[in-house]
Amino acid sequence: MSPELSIVIPVYNEEDVLPLLAARLRPVADALDTTYEVVAVDDGSSDSSPVVLQRMLREWPQLRIVRLRANAGHQAAISAGLASARGGYVVTLDADLQDPPEVIPEMLAQARAHGADVVYGVRSDRSTDSVFKRLSARAFYRLIRVLSGTRAQVDAGDYRLMSRATVNAINALPEHHRVLRFVVPALGFPSASVTYRRDERAAGKSKYPLAKMIRLSLDSVTGFSTAPLRAATWLGLVGGAAAFLLLAYALVASASGHTLPGWTSTVVAVAGVGAVQLLCLGILGEYVGRMYAHLQARPTYFVAYDSLTGPVTPADEP
């Protein structure tokens, strides 16, 4: 029989965190007035996380392990969890205890009380994040809000509860490299929110280096807006106008007999135009890359093993 609640947890090299997570999540989940499963999605961990998970599985019947063949990334791991989850409600939660599990009953209560399909976990306090992370996150959410025109919750990460209808809608999306925290509000289901204090990572190190943060930002922007393409056009127009003025000036200067040394202006023009061209090419490339990924239609993750059904052979995969 399917459980009523699924708790989806992406796990990537979290050997130190997993025992702490179990110790805090299990009492909360066991005290719920519903049946539940915990879907730990092992995102191709290379440390002893798989061993630790197997050990936990032996004494925690509600735990389920879904192992991906290779590291697919945070968002893809969550997607894999959503595709595997059986619950009528699904909560997604980070493994590192930055999202306190104690909030889950409140999310469930909100969903039931208001008939909400989505209950966002909103961070009331980011004092445990670095100044850089806070400032970059704020700028990032504002930018996406302006670009996408969706009412993406500011300060809502990937800690949220979703109804079966919402999860089915997400699973049916053909889009690749989706950033769920912006995709979910764009689906337009009735929502509510619960505020919580985001704690410090319980153990281990962040799996989100700057490069991955930039990747996530680019996916968010290109996933929701073609404004950068239009900005490239405007840059071209403004640059063209400036070049025209410069040309007029050069003609007048040479007609009036001034001989220009010309080195500085040449260097500035060449470097400036080169930079703008590269930027515009890069912007174009981001969209071409997205179209390419979409055309290839290659799954963003491959499931190798599900503790519910055993090894998954490629023929079983959707």
d(CA 262, CA 176): 49
- Nearest to 90, CA basis, from 178, 151, 3, 25: 3
Q: Please report whether residue 98 would count as binding Mg ion according to CB under 5 A.
A: yes
Q: Please report whether residue 14 would count as binding ligand UDP according to CB under 6 A.
A: yes
Least Å from the CB of residue 104 to ligand UDP: 16
Q: Which is nearer to ligand UDP, 96 or 117 (CB)?
A: 96
User: Containing H/E element for 160?
Assistant: strand 156-163
Residues binding ligand UDP: number (CB under 6 A): 17
Provide φ and ψ at 157, rounded to 5°: -95, -130
Q: Which is nearer to ligand UDP, 28 or 276 (CB)?
A: 28
Question: Do strands 156-163 and 303-306 pair parallel, antiparallel, or not at all (unpaired)?
Answer: unpaired
Q: Which is nearer to ligand UDP, 49 or 110 (CB)?
A: 49
Q: Please report whether residue 11 would count as binding ligand UDP according to CB under 6 A.
A: yes
Q: Please report whether residue 10 would count as binding ligand UDP according to CB under 6 A.
A: yes
Angle at 117 between CA 115 and CA 118, to 5 degrees: 120
Cα distances from 189 to residues 106, 110, 183, in angstroms, run 19, 14, 11
Q: Which is nearer to ligand UDP, 17 or 162 (CB)?
A: 17
Q: Please report whether residue 202 would count as binding ligand UDP according to CB under 6 A.
A: no
Least Å from the CB of residue 244 to Mg ion: 51
Q: Which is nearer to ligand UDP, 9 or 119 (CB)?
A: 9
CA atoms within 13 A of residue 197's CA, in its CB half-sphere: 4
By the 10 Å C-beta count (0-12 exposed, 13-18 middle, 19+ buried), 239 is classed as: middle
Contacts of 310 (CB under 8 A, 6+ apart): none
Binding segment for ligand UDP (CB under 6 A), chosen from 199-207, 229-237, 271-279, 295-303, is 199-207
Q: Please report whether residue 12 would count as binding ligand UDP according to CB under 6 A.
A: yes
Helical segments of 46-118, H only: 49-59, 74-84, 104-114
Q: Please report whether residue 37 would count as binding ligand UDP according to CB under 6 A.
A: no
Assigned token pair, 140:
């990032």
Q: Which of positions 121-180 make contact with ligand UDP (CB under 6 A)?
A: none
Q: How far apart are the first and last CA of the chain?
A: 22
Q: Which is nearer to ligand UDP, 89 or 301 (CB)?
A: 301
Q: Which of positions 71-110 make contact with ligand UDP (CB under 6 A)?
A: 71, 73-74, 77, 94-96, 98
Question: What three-state secondary structure class fits 222?
Answer: helix
d(CA 75, CA 82): 11
Q: Please report whether residue 208 would count as binding ligand UDP according to CB under 6 A.
A: yes
Assigned token pair, 256:
């009036």
Least Å from the CB of residue 190 to ligand UDP: 27
Least Å from the CB of residue 11 to ligand UDP: 5
> Which partner in Mg ion, ligand UDP, none is near 37 (CB below 5 to 8 A by kind)?
none
Q: Where does this chain bind Mg ion (CB under 5 A)?
A: 94, 96, 98
- The site for ligand UDP (CB under 6 A) is made up of 10-12, 14, 43, 71, 73-74, 77, 94-96, 98, 201, 206-208
